[in-house]
Each structure stands twice: as structure tokens, then as C-alpha cells.
């Protein structure tokens, strides 16, 4: 659940139940999380648990006019970095051809007909927010264009490591970023993230072709 959606849910919950019944933010939070969980009966814990905020999400869920303090931002970054997991053998760049399929694949954890869609693996669906292959026009623009990512940055070890960690959990570098924490929340495996990294940095990838 994104911080904006969660904030809206808390606001709606507060308006519905009234301040007298839930006098503090923690009570409203608990009620909201319970309401979301009960709205999807029979869903597996891996899905319903996503409605429950972790410590970093709570820090990032500020109300109107509130901002993250420097101390809170440091706590988010430290916790995010500590929780990063890497692929077996610490190979952070995999097969760009596999990554090419992942960036346009939206399969995984969708609810259809009251059930979680069966899928062998989730997709990254990066094109929902980023331009990648310059020949692909059906892309989103919520995030920056990543076309020529490798040509502009290279594929050195520091670049590969930064790219992997940014995809795994963007909060490692940008506290409370709207970018999904794809590895942190278990949506993508470390190996899948390595394939997406390869798609971004490999000179042979369509992303980097002149």
C-alpha cells in the first residue's frame, strides 16, 4: 500500500468512525488495517500483510503539512540498507533478455474473481512508470526516462550495485520515495532484480542501443 493511499484510508476511517471513538492516530491506523484485511476474506497472508505498515512506512506516512525530519530520514535509509538481500554468488547483473520480459510483465498478485491470480513469478512492470526501450511508446512517465541508462552511466561495479539496491528498495537512497520497494516487499526475487539490472546496464540491451 502506498503512503498516499494509506493516508487517504486513515482520513476516511477517521471521518467515518469519528474522533470520539478513535482519539489517537494509532487506533485509527489499527482500525484501518483491520478494515482492509477484512475486505479481502480468504486472501493469503502474503497479500493481506501488505496492508500492514512496517516501521519505515509509518515514518513516511506524514499528515498534511508534516515533513520527514533528518533524523527520521536517516533511520529510514539505515533500516532499508540493512534489509537488502543479494542474489546467490552476489551476481548483481543477470541476463538482460530475461530482464526485458520482466520490465513489461504485470503478472503477479492480482486479485481476480476473489482469488489471487496464479503465477509462477511476478513481473516488474517497470514500463508503467519509466521509458526504457526507445522503440516502445506504450510507457508511463511517472518516473524518469531510463532510455540509454547504461550508455550514460556505464556498467561499472558501483553503478551495478547502486542500480540493484535502488530497485530492491529505493528508500535506501531516497527516503519515502513513491517507487515500489520491489525486493523489500518480496514482490521480486534478488535474481529477478539482477535480470532487470542487466536490462538497464548491458550494452546489448535495447535500452542502450543508439
Return the pLDDT at 14: 47
- Cell reading at 43: 486472501
pLDDT digit string, tens, across residues 148-183: 999 999 999 999 999 999 999 999 999 999 999 999
Whose cell is 512506512? That residue is 57
pLDDT of residue 113: 72
Looking at CATH, the fold of the domain delimited by 88-208 is given as Cytochrome Bc1 Complex; Chain D, domain 2 (1.10.760)
Confidence of residue 1 (pLDDT cuts 50, 70, 90): low
For the question of whether the overall pTM of this predicted structure is more than 0.85, the answer is: no
Domains of the chain, residue spans: 3-81, 88-208
How far from 44 is each of 50, 109, 120, 155, 185, CA to CA, in Å?
11, 10, 16, 39, 15
Looking at residue 49, its pLDDT comes to 76
**What is the C-alpha to C-alpha distance for residues 113 and 26, in angstroms, rounded to an integer?**
33
Give the helix, strand, coil percentages of the chain, each rounded to 5.
Answer: 50, 0, 50
For residue range 95-124, what is the model confidence (pLDDT) as tens digits? 999 999 999 998 877 777 777 776 678 899
Amino acid at each position: 500500500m502506498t503512503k498516499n493511499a494509506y493516508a487517504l484510508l486513515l482520513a476516511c476511517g477517521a471521518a467515518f468512525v469519528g474522533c470520539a471513538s478513535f482519539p489517537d492516530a494509532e487506533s485509527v491506523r489499527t482500525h484501518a488495517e483491520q478494515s482492509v484485511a477484512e475486505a479481502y476474506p480468504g486472501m493469503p497472508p502474503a497479500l493481506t500483510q501488505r496492508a500492514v505498515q512496517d516501521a519505515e512506512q509509518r515514518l513516511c506516512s506524514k499528515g498534511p503539512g508534516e515533513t520527514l525530519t533528518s533524523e527520521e530520514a536517516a533511520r529510514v535509509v539505515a533500516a532499508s540498507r540493512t534489509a537488502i538481500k543479494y542474489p546467490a554468488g552476489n551476481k548483481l547483473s543477470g541476463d538482460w533478455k530475461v530482464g526485458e520480459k520482466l520490465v513489461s510483465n504485470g503478472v503477479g498478485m492480482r486479485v481476480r474473481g476473489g482469488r489471487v491470480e496464479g503465477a509462477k513469478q511476478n513481473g516488474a512492470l517497470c514500463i508503467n512508470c519509466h521509458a526504457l526501450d526507445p522503440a516502445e511508446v506504450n510507457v508511463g512517465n511517472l518516473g524518469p526516462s531510463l532510455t540509454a541508462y547504461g550508455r550514460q552511466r556505464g556498467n561499472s561495479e558501483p553503478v551495478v550495485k547502486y542500480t540493484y539496491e535502488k530497485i530492491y528498495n529505493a528508500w535506501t537512497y531516497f527516503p519515502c520515495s513513491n517507487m515500489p520497494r520491489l525486493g523489500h516487499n518480496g514482490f521480486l526475487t534478488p535474481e529477478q532484480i539482477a535480470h532487470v539490472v542487466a536490462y538497464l546496464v548491458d550494452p546489448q540491451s535495447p535500452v542502450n542501443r543508439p
